[in-house]
């Protein structure tokens, strides 16, 4: 029954079915049942007339009809009635159906009245209320919630307005039985988690009789949705692990040990050690590693990646075969170059050949890099997308490190898999955009996750301040003080595609103003934006890196990774226009040295409530994971970066921003069940596998889940 096309439903027919498909994506009865109310009109209690106090709120009254009167003529003809209870009387008005209502409403009778309060001549009235005579059945019915369904104008014109859809749902729900709407969860889970059964839940979510019933139904359906998804993700992860053989890096050899004992300039943090251990376990397991390392800006991901690369260099394809190579890929030229330089510096004095490759490496230099990679002489290469190109061949690539995951698409990642003809190389993805745990579990459900959730010791937390135009002079004074101490300053402007022209103008105006307030030759200012050529960018960046300039005016092109430890002030203009994770990324450009660093958020006077919360949150915490949670709450999961890659955030009832607790339970439960019964073949689990397959089928039809 559930797979039946919606056109076969009584009261729908081909024409409306067509609209339902196009407007709401409802193809089958199953889809209709999961087209859930987005709110409910609360009719669970009766109000008194004196309770009517807010325009726009809905009220349910019960009283005696006092007067029914037609007033006016023609287009302004209306029916006015009065209902009265022991606390007062309320006017009711209708502009349509006047003569029919005049005939049916009976003065002196008791009615249940439901409507939304309007105010007229500083008195409340109820326009077009629903009217029911008071009798036992109606009173009982009145004590309920009325579901309100999403619909569209076109559908409403064809009779499928909120009431029309409500009618269809009612008919459908009345036909449901355990036989045609079976339980999907094993009984022990339903009992163990005190869930309501599936049939009661779908009833309770459409036509709840109490808040309690609604809550329990919602909870059950959310759990089911998240649980089935987690089962799927974990199953596919298990399958992948079972089939995707990988190189075994069993040895910790000279390179790693020499680096660890002679070169590493600091003690690793506990978190770095833990993640390195996780990586080592992966590399030795005989399966391809697919690990995502999340770590706040400055948490020290690079050195962890480098040590993983050294393990790669320490191992060979076979006892006589070539040693493994490693590559690191970054999303921008600037960042790739910084990684290259940083790694070269860390490895100074060690016999490791490190190269650089990007689109801008041309001619003889390029040929040389390519040759040395193919012959295996070059052991590590750092670069941009250029590394993916077909003509980049390795002698024996063992490990790929990808920095800043969200800028690379899934296919790009996959292209690297074929760079070694024997087996796919190990993949280590690093991101400095902490993703809330709940989201990560879903988005990257088939990757292994590590978190470097601790900063190296001795870092002074960046102090973040909120300032407006008022304080501009003081902010400039402060910048001058810091510059006088030998520090450097970033000033960042928003650059958003849709408003690019205006943003560009703002950036240039800001640059000119700064040039006046910070005059040469005492002050030197760099400028950096996306419209500049790579070489120009590089030049400006280098001037700042070498402290030849004290101020860097830039757009978010500097967001990713740039490392200038001497910079201690980050001024963000129009800070309210940035998202939280972006603000946090920008702030991460300072606080990299020993000095106290500052982030100044400049905004207009007026802020939206979301904007205000973002700014306040920034001022309160430096913890990227906390910020990510707030971001998820404010923006909803649909807008989190990286989501586009997965296309699987289409939930019919679950809400990742709110349902973290349920998701964690769902994931843990799925994990435990699969541990004991990976194929879900136990009799109590057969229905689960069936539900997952159903889920998959729908997903394919709708393209909901990749």
Our CB check for ligand ADP shows the closer of 405 and 420 to be: 405
* Interaction pattern, residues 422-441, with ligand ADP; x per rule: CB under 6 A: ----------x---------
* 521: preceding bond cis by omega (within 30 degrees): yes
Alpha-carbon distance 570 to 415, whole Å? 37
Contact status: 494 vs ligand ADP (CB under 6 A): no
Q: Does 564 bind ligand ADP (CB under 6 A)?
A: no
Least Å from the CB of residue 542 to ligand ADP: 18
Interface with ligand ADP: number of residues (CB under 6 A): 17
> Which residue has the CB atom at the shortest distance from ligand ADP?
300
- Footprint of ligand ADP on 580-599 (CB under 6 A): 592
Q: CB within 8 A of 470, min separation 6: which ones?
A: none
- Given candidates 151, 269, 325, 379, which one binds ligand ADP under the rule CB under 6 A? 269
Distant-in-sequence contacts of 217-225, Cβ < 8 A, 24+ apart:
218/653, 219/195, 219/662, 220/195, 220/196, 221/653, 222/653, 222/654, 222/655, 222/659, 222/662, 223/193, 223/195, 223/662, 223/665, 223/666, 224/184, 224/185, 224/198, 225/651, 225/652, 225/653, 225/654
Phi and psi at 174, nearest 5°, equal -65, -25
Three-class secondary structure of residue 490 per DSSP: strand
Does 302 help bind ligand ADP (rule: CB under 6 A)? yes
| Among the residue ranges 16-24, 265-273, 354-362, 577-585, the one whose residues contact ligand ADP (CB under 6 A) | 265-273
Residue 308 interface partner, choices Mg ion, ligand ADP, none, CB cut-off 5-8 Å depending on type: none
Segment near ligand ADP (CB under 6 A), from 144-152, 166-174, 298-306, 663-671?
Answer: 298-306
Binding positions for Mg ion, rule: CB under 5 A = 561
Alpha-carbon dihedral sign for residues 263, 269, 270, 275:
negative
Among 184, 258, 272, 549, binds ligand ADP (CB under 6 A): 272
Q: Fill in the per-residue mask, 208 to 247: x = in contact with ligand ADP (CB under 6 A), - = not in contact.
A: ----------------------------------------
Q: Does 299 bind ligand ADP (CB under 6 A)?
A: yes
Contact stretch for ligand ADP (CB under 6 A) within 173-181, 227-235, 301-309, 596-604: 301-309
Which residue, 354 or 373, is less far from ligand ADP as judged by CB? 354
CA angle 691, 240, 388 (to 5 degrees): 125
CB-neighbour burial class of residue 376 (10 A; exposed 0-12, middle 13-18, buried 19+): middle
Q: Which is nearer to ligand ADP, 451 or 483 (CB)?
A: 451
Q: Are strands 144-148 and 39-43 parallel, antiparallel or unpaired?
A: antiparallel
Long-range contacts of 97-104 (CB under 8 A, 24+ apart): 98/70, 99/70, 101/68, 101/131, 102/68, 102/70
One-letter-per-residue 3-state SS of 201-259: HHHHHHCCCCHHHHHHHHHHHHHHHHHHHHHHHHHHHHHHHHHCECCCCCCCCHHHHHH
- Regarding 602 and contact with ligand ADP (CB under 6 A), the answer is no
Q: Is 266 in the site for ligand ADP (CB under 6 A)?
A: yes
Among Mg ion, ligand ADP, none, partner that 456 touches (CB below 5 to 8 angstroms by kind): ligand ADP
Judged by CB under 6 A, does residue 298 bind ligand ADP?
A: yes
Return the residue matching tokens 């009976």: 106
CB–CB of 251/315 below 8 Å? yes
Least distance to Mg ion, CB of residue 435, Å: 16
Helix (H) or strand (E) holding 276: helix 270-284
Tell me whether residue 37 or residue 561 sits nearer to Mg ion (CB atom).
561
Q: Which of 129, 300, 434, 591 binds ligand ADP (CB under 6 A)?
A: 300
- DSSP calls for 649-703: ---SS--TTT-HHHHHHHHHHHHHHHHH-TT--SGGGHHHHHHHHHHHHHHHHHT
Question: Which of 295, 398, 510, 637 touches ligand ADP (CB under 6 A)?
Answer: 295
Q: Which helix (H) or strand (E) holds 79?
A: strand 78-85
In the complex, minimum distance from the CB of residue 332 to Mg ion, in angstroms, rounded to a whole number: 12
- In the complex with ligand ADP, the residue whose CB is nearer, 298 or 424, is 298
Q: Which of 127, 150, 322, 456 binds ligand ADP (CB under 6 A)?
A: 456
Indicate which single residue of 16, 62, 301, 426 sits in contact with ligand ADP (rule: CB under 6 A).
301
Q: Give least dist CB 588 to ligand ADP, A.
A: 7
Residue 189 found at the interface with ligand ADP (CB under 6 A)? no
Binding site for ligand ADP (CB under 6 A): 266-269, 272, 295, 297-303, 432, 456, 563, 592
């Amino acid at each position: 029954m559930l797979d039946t096309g919606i056109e076969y439903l009584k009261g729908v027919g081909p024409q409306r079915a067509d609209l339902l498909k196009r407007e709401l994506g409802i193809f089958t009865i199953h889809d209709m049942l999961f087209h859930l109310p987005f709110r409910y009109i609360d009719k669970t209690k009766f109000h008194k007339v004196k309770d009517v106090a807010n325009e726009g709120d809905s009220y349910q009254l019960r009283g005696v009809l006092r007067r029914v009167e037609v007033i006016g003529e023609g287009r302004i003809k209306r029916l006015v009635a009065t209902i009265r209870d022991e606390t007062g009387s309320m006017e009711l008005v209708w502009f349509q159906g006047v003569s029919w209502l005049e005939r049916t409403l009976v003065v002196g009778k008791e009615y249940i009245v439901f409507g939304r309060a309007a105010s007229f001549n500083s008195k409340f009235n109820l326009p077009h209320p629903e009217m029911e005579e008071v009798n036992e059945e109606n009173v009982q019915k009145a004590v309920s919630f009325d579901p309100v369904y999403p619909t569209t104008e076109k559908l409403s014109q064809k009779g499928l307005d909120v009431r029309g859809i409500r009618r269809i749902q009612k008919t459908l729900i009345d036909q449901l039985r355990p036989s045609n709407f079976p339980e999907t969860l094993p009984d022990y889970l339903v009992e163990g988690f005190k869930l309501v059964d599936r049939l009661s839940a779908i009833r309770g979510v459409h036509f709840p009789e109490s808040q309690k019933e609604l809550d329990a139904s919602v909870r059950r359906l959310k759990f089911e949705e998240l649980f089935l998804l987690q089962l799927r993700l974990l199953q596919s992860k298990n399958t992948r692990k079972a089939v995707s053989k990988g190189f075994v890096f069993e040895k910790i050899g000279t390179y790693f040990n020499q680096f660890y004992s002679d070169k590493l300039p600091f003690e690793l943090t506990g978190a770095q050690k833990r993640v390195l251990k996780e990586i080592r376990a992966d590399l030795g397991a005989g399966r391809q590693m697919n690990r995502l390392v999340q770590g706040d800006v400055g948490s020290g991901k690079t050195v962890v990646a480098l040590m993983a690369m050294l393990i790669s260099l320490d191992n060979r394809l076979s006892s006589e075969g070539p040693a493994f190579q490693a590559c690191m890929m970054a999303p921008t030229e600037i960042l790739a170059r910084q990684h290259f330089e940083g790694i070269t510096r860390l490895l100074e004095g060690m016999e490791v050949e490190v190269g650089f490759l990007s689109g801008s490496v041309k001619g003889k230099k390029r040929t040389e890099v390519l040759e040395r990679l193919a012959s295996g002489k070059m052991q590590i290469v750092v670069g941009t997308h250029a590394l993916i190109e077909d003509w980049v061949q390795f002698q024996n690539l063992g490990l790929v490190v990808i920095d800043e995951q969200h800028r690379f698409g899934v296919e790009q990642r996959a292209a690297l898999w074929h760079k070694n003809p024997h087996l796919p190389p190990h993949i280590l993805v690093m991101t400095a955009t902490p993703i809330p745990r709940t989201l990560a579990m879903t988005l990257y459900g088939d990757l292994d996750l590590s978190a470097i959730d601790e900063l190296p010791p001795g870092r002074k937390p960046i102090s973040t301040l909120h300032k407006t135009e008022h304080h501009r002079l003081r902010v400039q004074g402060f910048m001058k003080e810091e510059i006088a101490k030998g520090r450097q300053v970033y000033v960042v402007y928003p650059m958003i595609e849709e408003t690019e022209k205006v943003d560009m103008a703002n950036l240039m105006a800001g640059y000119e103003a700064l040039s006046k307030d910070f005059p040469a030759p005492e002050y030197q200012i760099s400028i950096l934006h996306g419209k500049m050529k790579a070489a120009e960018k590089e030049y400006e960046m280098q001037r700042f890196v070498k402290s030849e300039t004290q101020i860097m005016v830039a757009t978010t092109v500097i967001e990713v990774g740039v490392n200038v430890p001497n910079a201690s002030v980050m001024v963000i203009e129009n800070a309210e226009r940035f998202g939280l994770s972006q603000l946090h990324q920008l702030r991460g450009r300072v606080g990299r040295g020993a000095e106290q660093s500052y982030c100044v958020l400049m905004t207009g006077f007026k802020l939206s409530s979301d904007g205000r919360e973002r700014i306040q949150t920034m001022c309160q915490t430096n913890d990227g994971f906390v910020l990510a949670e707030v971001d998820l709450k404010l923006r909803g999961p649909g807008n989190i970066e990286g989501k586009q890659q997965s296309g699987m955030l289409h939930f019919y009832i679950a809400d990742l921003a709110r349902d973290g607790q349920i998701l964690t339970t769902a994931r843990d439960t799925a994990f435990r069940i699969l541990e004991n019964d990976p194929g879900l073949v136990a009799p109590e689990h057969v229905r689960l596998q069936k539900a997952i397959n159903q889920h998959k089928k729908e997903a394919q039809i709708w393209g909901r889940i990749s």
